[in-house]
Amino acid sequence: MGLMRQGIRTLRNALARREVSATELVETAFKEIGDDPLGAVLAMDREASLEQARAAQLRIDQGDASPLLGVPILHKDVFVTRAWPTTAGSRMLEGYRSPFDAEVVRRLDQAGMVCLGKANCDEFAMGSANQHSAYKPSRNPWSPTRVPGGSSGGSAAAVAAGWVVAATGTDTGGSVRQPASLCGITGLKPTYGRISRWGMVAYASSLDQAGPMAGSADDCAMMLNAMAGFDQKDATSLDRPEEDFTRYFGASLVPAQKHDEALPLKGLRVGRPKEFFAEGLSPGVAQPIDSALKTLEAMGAVVVDCSLPRTALSIPAYYVIAPAEASSNLARYDGIRYGHRAQQPRDLLDLYERSRSEGFGPEVKRRILVGAFVLSHGYFDAYYLQAQRVRRLIAMDFDSVFESCDFIVGPVSPTVAWPIEGRSQMDPLAEYLADIYTLGASLAGLPAMSVPCGFQIEDSLRLPVGLQIIAPRFEEARLLAMAHAFQQQTDWHKQQAPAQTEKRGVAI
């Protein structure tokens, strides 16, 4: 198995035992990535990465046992970085250099992770297929003619290909979970406010949340340990006591119940919302999800039917609220304060108009138009305010299920990865509809994961399917422990994309 796919602990042990050095890992990764056949990476700078690797190696040599030290990572290109340009996948920010690092970047840097560069993403994180990047489309390592999902598609593709151990992503309406699902890796969107948004290029501020993407729940938990925490610089950051997100691994998830090795999920109540299994869910996805639920039952969990009655409304509510916030956030890119500036303007208005026309791509423009419309005088109450009311009702639906269930489970995406020449290029609405199962947890601010749970087999193609697990607010530790327990019973998360095993394997 490729070195990078063995997980953080194995890699960290290999570093500690001097079987490999942090700088060798960087060299290996650069060789693996090569000319980036998956379109997963936007900026790389060998010297900057090696410098971080040397610093990490020095700490390792001095006996520093930090769990992430020397482990390679890619950052989604919406996190601002001093050492690499930040574009958010847009021409608008081409060549932009931030004078500071995003808080997530700073924290992972301090933990000793070695940044290999910036991961490709949909422009301003708008999309579900990573085909809206202004620079290049990203591809799925399980089948390079398919999308990797979006908007954190570059992050997911690079991890799935084994180019890098872990990556950061951001999830506004599903962008950590959905690409994780489509690429067969593990991803977590934490509770809104858990991770600082400082230095994350804003899309929809009341929804945006960073999250770890890696090979397993264990890796995600270790990353979350470093990423989470209060940050004064972000007014929406939550001041919570520090926690170890691995603390329930191998322990009972039900308070006051003894851990049972043979039935690790004994006593857990898992809700299966009927709306997540209704029309629209492709049979190739439904089948692995059903077997995953059987696995959970075999592990002692009780799967109960439940209902999230406003699931269908999450699409119109989200696609009003997110564009509204985006239109406001993106107003700053006017060619003067920020972003691309048009050449030889006739006057000020011409400068604004052409800078924005040239800098933004079609999907971003579409959302700015929708956002400006729903916020405009006379329509505000009918659309924006109404969507906020629906958002509240959606959150209440989740809360009432959590009165009798510990977790909610279902699919992440109604289909597996679709062909690149497919719907995302032709029909924006079809792309929006594919977000049906992820938007609810985003609107409600809940933590949710995607965990590999099988494949849809098409001809000889194996396309990954992800199980979504949604938890009550602040229950990341239990959520990760449940995902970890599932991964102790199954090996879906260990399967490797063909590009990796055939051509690019590096044995440890």
Residue 280's Cβ-count burial label (10 Å; 0-12, 13-18, 19+) is middle
CA-CA distance, 90 to 135, in Å (whole number)?
7
The least distance separating ligand GLN from the CB of residue 183, rounded to whole angstroms, comes to 15
The least distance separating ligand GLN from the CB of residue 271, rounded to whole angstroms, comes to 23
CA-CA distance, 18 to 25, in Å (whole number)?
12
- Sorted by sequence, the CB contacts under 8 Å of residue 347 that are 6+ apart come out as none
The least distance separating ligand GLN from the CB of residue 447, rounded to whole angstroms, comes to 15
Closer CB to ligand GLN, 3 or 74, in the complex: 74
CA-CA distance, 97 to 271, in Å (whole number)?
46
Closer CB to ligand GLN, 174 or 335, in the complex: 174
The least distance separating ligand GLN from the CB of residue 207, rounded to whole angstroms, comes to 8
Residues 430/319, Cβ–Cβ less than 8 Å: no
Cα dihedral across residues 143, 43, 22, 31: positive or negative? positive
Residues 396/354, Cβ–Cβ less than 8 Å: no
Residue type, 206: S
List, by residue number, the catalytic residues: 76, 151, 175
Closer CB to ligand GLN, 173 or 187, in the complex: 173
The least distance separating ligand GLN from the CB of residue 155, rounded to whole angstroms, comes to 12
Lookup: tokens for 14: 């290999």
Given the structure tokens 């239109």, which residue do they identify? 327
Which residue's Cβ has the minimum distance to ligand GLN? 175
CA-CA distance, 160 to 165, in Å (whole number)?
9
Interface ranges with ligand GLN (CB under 6 A) = 125-128, 151, 171-175, 203, 322, 435
Closer CB to ligand GLN, 123 or 218, in the complex: 123
CA-CA distance, 135 to 296, in Å (whole number)?
42
Closer CB to ligand GLN, 70 or 440, in the complex: 440
User: Max Cα separation, the chain?
Assistant: 74
